[in-house]
Amino acid sequence: MGAATAEALDPTPQSYDIAVEATGRVDQLGLTVKSLTPEGICESAGNHFRPGELPLLDMYFNGVTLRIARDNVRAHIPDALELAASGTVAPEKVVSHVIDWEDLPTALPEKHLKPVFVRADT
């Protein structure tokens, strides 16, 4: 789709039509909305539990659309599983570790960027 990710980024003001913030940091959310073009869209999947301030006046003048929510993926699971089983995509390229379900209790506390736990068919 042409999307790029960055762990750290010095955003250029009004450069992006769509931006996703997933840090959970209000200061980063503020930078993200400032990087949007006029009428840009920001999707925030970060867990914002700490207080902070957003550049509301800038957002108002720029016409920002902001959505803050957890991802609601349940409805898409059947289609995603069908796509993964089709061989059209390689899901293993977007996960850091594939871990056996039985190893979950010992593996879960370890640091893994994007683990997937799999169960053998029973």
CA–CA separation, 113 and 105 (whole Å): 17
Q: Which residues pair with 21 in a beta bridge?
A: 44
Q: Is 39 left (phi over 0), alpha (psi -120 to 50) or beta?
A: left
- Domains, the chain, ranges and CATH? 16-68 (3.40.50.720), 74-118 (no CATH)
Q: Which residues pair with 97 in a beta bridge?
A: 115
CA–CA separation, 93 and 102 (whole Å): 22
Rounded to 5 degrees, what are φ and ψ at 39? 65, 20
What is the pTM assigned to this prediction?
A: 0.59
Q: How does pLDDT run across 66-79, given as a tens digit for each residue? A: 999 887 888 999 99
Return the percentage of the chain with pLDDT > 70, whole number.
Answer: 90
